[in-house]
Amino acid sequence: MFSKSKVECEKIEAICTKCKKGVYRQTGNVDKEANPIVFEHKCSECKAIADFSMVYPVLKYRDKKFMLADSVRFLSSSPKPDV
């Protein structure tokens, strides 16, 4: 059994460092051998590639960052790309 309640949180996007217009979204490529694990992302505008240790966007609640479950639910296989 679960209970639900509404909370206020912030959505944090990774803005593309190249074009400054797009946001990064995971591609589905994961380096599981890296420590910490590295998730490849692609810019939604210019398609530049960047690697992060978190899957963006993330939610921030009470000074803690949370990755969305759909992004990392099955790390035994690559996550579904958002791009």
**Distance between CA 44 and CA 15 in Å, rounded?**
10
> Which tokens sit at 61?
């609640």
Which residues share a beta bridge with 41? 26, 50
* pLDDT tens track for 16-72: 999 999 999 999 899 989 999 999 999 999 999 999 999 999 999 999 999 988 777
* pLDDT tens track for 59-79: 999 999 999 887 776 565 555
pTM of the predicted model as reported, rounded to 2 decimal places: 0.80
Query: C-alpha angle with apex 17: 21 to 36, nearest 5 degrees?
Result: 125
Per the CB < 8 A criterion, the answer to whether 12 and 67 are in contact is: no
